[in-house]
Chain A
């Protein structure tokens, strides 16, 4: 009873696939079928087993049990190269290709055009240029991939996978670092492949995208199959319930919070703060218990603002004051000493220590802050870790598990816990809900509100405008590396934010 369409052999079919890690059953008898010419979403909460299933299908992991068939023939890919030869191209969740190789080499690695056994670089570069042009990229393919932004790297990874996929294309959270236009380009490419009869597996936490592009949806929960349904027959609420296994209250609030008391002297005041080439000088004042949201397109200067505030790139103009007294900033050390915390956007490379356990990772930041002379007792660390695991709903067998073995979204929660443990007065969160599933999403929003009620000041950067509207007292809009607008209280609506980002006047006037 695997394939609902009788008389047609599915393109890819997995039956009762199982995979265990020490302490976790990541996949427990999962069935999955992919038809030719369909886009099939694989959904589930963080740690549901999506990435693990992908890795079992593509030979990156050896499965413990079950069967995989391609075109009705049993296959058993030993490694990813094997899978590529069978026509399965994959973009893995955590891989951003090799930054030391050129763009062209990344695209063609293992499949370079050769002549008499020698790689013909010129032909490879020409083909690479043609390929990147298809995705609207105008870049020098002979430069190293590392010299381009994360978004471009992601597109290159996708282009490579598409090129390699003769039959099946698997994309594990490919859109996490793409902006709306880049997503459009990707979806065009996917539609083209679909028409050519490829089967495409699409993993994402962006439900809008899932409803827009996919034909069928398979949901996993805790390593088990919940079900497979046609996308048109599902609505958002039922889908979320399938993923969570419980009911989720719909968010109701439409406009931002009002009623913030603006004291004469804010907790933090930045005047003319900026850095050439990164962000134009801006003024920013933040009260106790205030959440300032920050919106803008990818590359508009949101992350740059955060990095300059936290001293990742020292400011070269302006001053800062804390409760009226001048504050000397300019390095991350100074920022931490001043009670700042910063959860960066690219958590993969910034700050997570995969080999250390959840407990150690959480204890690390706090220990650094109170000084190494006063070690935290193991018991205290343990209690703290357990507390955060509960509060943030981190899915793990226990606190001693190395962070590197958690699923992508759960690693993010550990990073957040690390900063929360230090109890900062001013916390900067850059895309705190990216890559996090719906359940945890609501959890983090609740947490942000809880933190500001406790008196913490927050600066939250997010691409999800509905979310900003829910928790922000004020929203700052960034465009072209400058702060261009500020919305307060009742003025905070998604429409107004969008208009400010786009630089058009409010819709009322625009209609005139």
Chain B
């Protein structure tokens, strides 16, 4: 087997085993109904995690996304309430804003040579602050189009429902996979994560790629915000605190190296689903505190980081043995 795909395979295996264990205890968990809900409930996280995957593969991090989602919700709710604009122009406007916001962070990171951690941390406070400026209270959304979007679904065999937002997440993941593995932009992102200096000498447009990666993350955070607004029918500036960390966790569980240069969008989807599955299990059980989700995710994360270390180490050993220098 290829050492590059090993983390992905490990993630898939863990997901299957975990699902099987849950199934033994609660057979109902295998129904399309539960699967449909899993996709719907985690749609916003999945979308934003795809963006995070690209950022992390490029060797960066984006801490602003949770705040951007909250900002998006408030932005949609307030504009729907206070202006005559319909939801579609508002969505378009929002996506432009969040994309530019991401691009601006990318430009700052590249041109001022600042660490992504600091720049996106500033972005996180900025976006959250802007949400507060728009409204401190939770603003309900009552719009016909949005309620209609909320009700769209495809009936799966077994009475499960694939909702619009769930489907949107799957589309984003598919597009993400294509971008990562089948476009020059995607390869450039991996190149950047492998070593920015080397990539520059090889002719990778480092500035453009960095800006595009954060712009993409901003765009997907905005899209995730739209999905979250549809899903909750409200905009609240205190919502989605810490979602950036959930996204990072999903990415790492999905087999992407935090050091950059290696990872899979498909793995991130599985990472999100594993986290959702734990949540579902706890709901089914009923007696467990929801904090167990956090504990389980924490342990999984630790396990994965250890696994990755072991793989990198074993891979290095094998390469050594295979090559042999003078």
- Answer yes or no: are A and B bound together in one complex: yes
Name A residues whose Cβ lies closer than 8 Å to a Cβ of B: 60, 79-81, 83-84, 90, 92, 95-101, 105, 109-110, 112, 114, 117-119, 121, 143-144, 146-152, 160, 177, 179, 277-278, 296-304, 345-346, 431, 461, 463, 481
Q: Given known contacts A105-B187, A119-B183, A147-B318, is B323 in contact with A300 (CB within 8 Å)?
A: no
B108 CB to closest chain A CB (Å) equals 20
From B184, B194, B204, A100 is in contact (CB under 8 Å) with B194
What B residues does A296 contact at CB under 8 A?
326
Q: How far is the CA of A121 from the CA of B199 in the complex (A)?
A: 20
A80 and B326 alpha carbons, distance in the complex (Å): 32
Residues of B within 8 A of A147 (CB): 3, 315, 318-319, 322-323
Whether the Cβ atoms of B325 and A345 lie closer than 8 Å is: yes
- When the two chains form their complex, are residues B187 and A95 in contact, meaning their CB atoms are under 8 A apart? no
Q: Check B326–A84 contact: CB distance below 8 A.
A: no
Apart from A60-B201, A109-B188, 7 more pairs, CB < 8 Å: A101-B191, A119-B183, A119-B187, A147-B319, A148-B323, A298-B325, A345-B325
- Is the CB–CB distance between B202 and A98 below 8 Å? yes
Per-position binary interface string of chain B over residues 64-88, scored 1 when its CB falls under 8 Å from any chain A CB and 0 otherwise: 0000000000000000000000000
Q: How far is the CB of B65 from chain A (nearest CB, A)?
A: 25
Known: A147-B319, A149-B325. A98 touches B194 (CB 8 A): yes
Compute how far the CA of A151 lies from the CA of B326 in the bound complex, rounded to whole angstroms.
10
CA distance A96 to B186 in the complex (A): 21
Q: For B200, list chain A residues within 8 Å (CB).
A: 60, 79-80
The answer to whether residues A98 and B326 also contact, given A119-B182, A121-B182 and a CB cut-off of 8 A, is no
CA of A109 to CA of B322 in the docked complex: distance in angstroms? 25
The answer for the CA separation of A148 and B316 in the assembled complex, in Å, is 10
> A287–B218 Cα gap in the complex (Å)?
66
Cα separation A278 to B262 with both chains bound (whole Å): 29
The answer on a CB contact under 8 Å between A109 and B187 is: yes
- Contact B323 A112, beta carbon cutoff 8 Å: no
Question: In the complex the two chains form, what is the Cα distance from A150 to B319 in whole Å?
Answer: 11
> Which chain B residue has the least Cβ–Cβ distance from A148?
B323
Chain B stretch 164-215: residues in CB contact (< 8 A) with chain A:
178, 181-184, 186-188, 190-191, 193-195, 198-205
Which one of B2, B184, B324 lies within 8 Å of A149 (CB-CB)?
B324
User: B residues within 8 A CB of A278?
Assistant: 321
- Would you call A79 and B191 a contact (CB within 8 A)? no
Q: Are B2 and A110 in contact (CB under 8 A)?
A: no
The reply on B4 being an interface residue by CB < 8 A is yes
> Known interface pairs A80-B200, A81-B205, A297-B326. Does A143 touch B2 (Cβ–Cβ under 8 Å)?
yes
The yes or no answer to B276 lying at the interface (CB within 8 A) is: no
- Which one of B184, B195, B262, B323 contacts A110 once the chains associate, using CB atoms below 8 Å? B184
| Chain A positions within 8 Å of B4 at CB level | 144
Chain B count of residues within 8 A CB distance of the other chain: 35
Instruction: Decide: A100 near B261, CB < 8 A? Known: A109-B203, A146-B319, A296-B326.
Output: yes
Contacts of A99 in B (CB 8 A): 194
Give A81's nearest chain B residue, CB to CB. B203
The minimal Cβ–Cβ distance linking A429 to chain B, given in whole angstroms, is: 13
Which residues of the partner chain B approach A149 to less than 8 Å between Cβ atoms?
322-325
- Chain B residues contacting A152 (CB-CB under 8 Å) are 323
Contacts of B326 in A (CB 8 A): 179, 296-300, 302-303, 345, 431, 461, 463
Bound: A80/B319 CA distance, A: 30
Count chain A CB atoms within 10 A of each CB in B187, B200, B321 and give the residue with the most: B187
A109 touches B325 (CB 8 A): no
Shortest C-beta distance, B138 to chain A (Å), equals 43
- A370 CA to B188 CA, complexed, in Å: 46
Q: Please give me the residue from chain A that is nearest to B207 by CB atom.
A: A79
Give me the 10 closest cross-chain CB pairs, A-B, nearest first.
A149-B323, A298-B326, A98-B194, A81-B203, A100-B261, A100-B194, A147-B319, A118-B182, A80-B203, A299-B324
> Could you name 18 residue pairs across A and B whose Cβ atoms are closer than 8 Å?
A80-B201, A81-B203, A81-B204, A83-B203, A84-B203, A98-B194, A99-B194, A100-B190, A100-B193, A100-B261, A110-B184, A117-B183, A150-B325, A152-B323, A160-B202, A177-B325, A278-B321, A304-B324
* Among A79, A112, A277, A463, contact of B203 (Cβ-Cβ < 8 Å): A79
Interface 1/0 per residue, B279-297 and A, CB below 8 Å: 0000000000000000000
Chain B residues numbered 80-99 whose CB sits less than 8 Å from any CB in chain A: none
C-alpha spacing A69/B235, complex, angstroms:
60
Q: How far is the CB of B59 from chain A (nearest CB, A)?
A: 10
Q: Determine how close the nearest CB of chain B comes to the CB of A157; give it in whole angstroms.
A: 9
How many angstroms between the C-alpha atoms of A110 and B319 in the bound complex? 26
Known: A60-B201, A95-B202, A118-B182. A148 touches B261 (CB 8 A): no
Is A95 in contact with B203, judged by CB distance below 8 angstroms? no
Q: Which residues of B contact A112 (CB under 8 A)?
A: 184, 187
Residues of A contacting B261 with CB < 8 Å?
98, 100
Q: Mark B301-326, 1 if CB is under 8 A from A, else 0.
A: 00000000000000100110111111
Asked if residues B323 and A95 are in contact (CB atoms below 8 Å), the reply is no
Instruction: Say whether A98 contacts B203, CB under 8 Å.
Output: no
Complex-state Cα separation, A90 to B203, whole angstroms: 10
Residue of A nearest to B324 (CB): A299
| Minimum distance in angstroms from B184 CB to a CB of chain A | 6
Interfacial chain B residues near A121, Cβ < 8 Å: 181-182
- Chain B residue nearest to A150 (CB atoms) is B325
With both beta carbons as reference points, the residue of chain A lying nearest to B261 in the complex is identified as A100
What is the distance, in angstroms, from A261's C-beta to the closest C-beta of chain B?
31
Known: A110-B184, A118-B183, A121-B182. A148 touches B202 (CB 8 A): no
How far apart sit A179 and B325, CA to CA, in the bound complex (Å)? 10
- The answer for the CA separation of A431 and B326 in the assembled complex, in Å, is 10
User: If the complex has contacts A118-B178, A299-B324, A345-B326, are A92 and B201 also in contact, measured as CB distance less than 8 A?
Assistant: yes
Let me know if A98 and B191 touch, CB within 8 A.
Answer: yes
**Cβ contacts under 8 Å, A117 to chain B:** 183
Q: A109-B187, A118-B182 are in contact. Are A80 and B202 (CB under 8 A)?
A: yes
